[in-house]
């Protein structure tokens, strides 16, 4: 905790505020665009203390309200520590976190206040997705039905008082940033520490830019659910207890909303111990995630998968000390037209590739089984360090994974699994939760001849090289 305190307590200085404000003006004109009103609203003028002791969300919301009433503007948090319950974004607002500014999530058991109550959502009550995906107002920063809204600046959001599980009690908060049915959103340059259930949950957002974020968190880092026209770039995401960058297509909006036209590039995902990415120590003492599998920290599609995943590219990304790439549709979603290229995976702790078409079918009764097709994977280097797991490409009876192409793949696999492991028959588990550890220990041998490949129609492999211990294999087709 001494390291966290060091991050939090940076004294405010008038000169640094003026310099950051000058930089803000340049950023605001060149990156975010000119709002209806170019006014800047300093939260200190609305009663903020920035001392980490007194609650400041009322002052911050007051500045946001004033800017919105004027037609839009930039709300500036100078260097300091802002203890807060819910901050409510509005359209045409840029929330600027100055260098040295930290928003700290309060807790109702420790401070006189509460987060906004979770709004009603009958689709959440039907259990098509969990509590965290179904409600947005019970968050540190939230917005609904907004347009042209941004959070920028190199400050920190510290979710200290947020809970990370599905406790529905009014007054608790469980997300750092939640956005529902918004358009034209920019999230850029800030960091999140211990973000709660979600560091960022964006649902039904159109035209979303996420750039240059650092997230070191206790559950999911970034969830993109039912969004389109999304650009995620240059982000560093550490999440040992859950997924780092996740695309979902849930029923949270009362319909199977697709996630489509998404680009993910120049990002890195990790499974280091929580807090040790931002403090620079990169520790690896944690061995297990809450789901009883290895630490998480991966890029994943699913598990919520009611609508579609279409027209998506992942390129120039790295995985380190975490699970591998997971593409999943188990609740009826169409998953198609995906490219994955120029990927480096190091110290991968479970299946490097986990591609799954299943039939969990968490959705309305008339939901039909989805499809999984047209996937290109090219230029991938993998060093896998767990002899229990191999890559898995699996459909179910009557529903194949179709048209998958792998090219230019190099895999180094740790050997040493016992001979008995090679005799294990991988179970079907058609309606189970989709994750490699659910299928038990199985042989980890050659990518083609021995990996679990159930119900696949057309797989192409070009220039594949594998090293298992000291043994090398290669295919060129």
DSSP 96-136: EE-TTEEEEE--TTTSS--PPPPPP-HHHHTTSS-HHHH--
Tell me which residue has tokens 């340049």: 26
Neighbours of 28 (CB within 10 A): 20
* Pairs from 28-31 (Cβ < 8 Å, separation ≥ 24): 28/74, 28/94, 28/96, 31/152, 31/186, 31/188
Distances (CA, A) of 375 to 220, 228, 314, 339, 409: 25, 19, 11, 6, 15
* DSSP code of residue 95: E
Q: pLDDT at residue 185 above 80?
A: yes
Residue 308 contacts residue 249 (beta carbons within 8 Å): yes
Q: What's residue 126's pLDDT?
A: 78
pTM of the model: 0.90
Structure tokens at 189: 């340059």
Q: Residues 377-418: pLDDT tens digits?
A: 999 999 998 878 888 899 999 999 999 999 999 998 877 667
Q: Residues 237-248: pLDDT tens digits?
A: 999 999 999 999
* DSSP code of residue 28: I
Q: What is the average per-residue pLDDT within 322-347?
A: 98
CA–CA gap between residue 468 and residue 384 (Å, rounded): 10
Structure tokens at 83: 């203890």
| N-term to C-term CA, the chain | 54
Which has the closest alpha carbon to 135: 179, 187, 90, 84? 179
Helix (H) / strand (E) containing 17: helix 14-27
Q: Which homologous superfamily does the CATH classification assign to the domain defined by 2-475?
A: Single-stranded right-handed beta-helix, Pectin lyase-like (2.160.20.10)
Phi, psi of 204 (to 5 degrees): 65, 35
Residue 207 contacts residue 174 (beta carbons within 8 Å): no
Which has the closest alpha carbon to 225: 360, 139, 354, 132? 132
CA–CA gap between residue 259 and residue 228 (Å, rounded): 5
Helices (H) and strands (E) in the chain, counts: 5, 33
Q: What's residue 313's pLDDT?
A: 98
Distances (CA, A) of 88 to 16, 172, 243, 465: 27, 16, 26, 52
Using only C-alpha atoms, the chain has a radius of gyration, in whole angstroms, of: 23
Q: Residues 42-100: pLDDT tens digits?
A: 999 999 999 999 999 999 999 999 999 999 999 999 999 999 999 999 999 999 999 99
Which has the closest alpha carbon to 244: 205, 204, 301, 187? 301
| Residue spans per domain, the chain | 2-475
Q: What's residue 431's pLDDT?
A: 86
SS3 (DSSP) at 458? strand
């Amino acid at each position: 905790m001494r390291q966290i305190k060091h991050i939090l307590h940076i004294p405010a200085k008038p000169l640094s505020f003026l310099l950051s404000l000058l930089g803000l003006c340049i950023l605001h004109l060149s990156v975010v665009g000119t709002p209806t009103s170019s006014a800047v609203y300093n939260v200190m003028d609305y009663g903020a203390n920035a001392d980490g002791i007194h609650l400041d969300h009322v002052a911050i919301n007051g500045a946001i309200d004033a800017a919105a009433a004027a037609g839009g503007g930039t709300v500036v948090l100078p260097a300091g520590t802002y203890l807060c319950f819910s901050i409510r974004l509005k359209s045409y607002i840029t929330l600027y976190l100055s260098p040295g500014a930290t928003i700290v999530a309060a807790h109702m058991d420790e401070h006189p206040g509460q987060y906004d109550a979770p709004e009603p959502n009958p689709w959440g009550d039907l259990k098509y997705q969990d509590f965290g995906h179904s409600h947005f107002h019970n968050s540190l920063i939230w917005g609904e039905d907004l347009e042209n809204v941004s959070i920028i600046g190199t400050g920190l959001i510290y979710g200290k008082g947020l809970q990370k599980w599905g406790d529905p009690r009014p007054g608790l908060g469980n997300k750092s940033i939640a956005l529902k049915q918004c358009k034209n959103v920019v999230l850029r340059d800030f960091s999140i520490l211990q973000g709660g259930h979600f560091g960022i949950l964006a649902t039904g957002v159109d035209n979303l830019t996420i750039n240059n974020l650092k997230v070191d968190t206790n559950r999911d880092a970034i969830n993109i659910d039912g969004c389109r026209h999304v650009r995620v770039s240059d982000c560093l995401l550490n999440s040992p207890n859950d997924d780092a960058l996740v695309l979902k297509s849930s029923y949270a909006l009362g319909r199977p909303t697709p996630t489509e036209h998404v680009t993910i590039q120049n990002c890195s995902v990790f499974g280091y111990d929580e807090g040790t990415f931002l403090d620079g120590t990169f520790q690896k003492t944690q061995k297990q995630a809450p789901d009883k599998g290895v630490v998480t920290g991966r890029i994943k599609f699913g598990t919520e998968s009611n609508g579609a995943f279409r027209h998506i590219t992942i390129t120039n990304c790295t995985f380190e000390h975490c699970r591998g790439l997971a593409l999943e549709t188990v609740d009826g979603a169409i998953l198609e037209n995906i490219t994955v290229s120029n990927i480096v995976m190091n110290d991968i702790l479970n299946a490097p590739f986990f591609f799954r078409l299943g039939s969990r079918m968490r959705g309305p009764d008339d939901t039909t089984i989805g499809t999984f097709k047209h996937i290109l994977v090219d230029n991938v280097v993998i060093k896998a360090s767990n002899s229990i797991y191999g890559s898995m490409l699996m459909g179910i009876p009557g529903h194949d994974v179709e048209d998958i192409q792998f090219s230019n793949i190099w895999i180094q696999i740790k050997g040493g699994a016992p001979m008995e492991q090679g005799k294990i028959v991988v179970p079907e588990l058609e309606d189970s939760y989709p994750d490699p550890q659910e299928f038990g220990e199985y042989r980890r041998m050659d990518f083609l001849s021995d990996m679990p490949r159930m119900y696949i129609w057309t797989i192409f492999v070009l220039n594949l090289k594998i090293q298992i211990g000291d043994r090398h294999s290669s295919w060129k087709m």
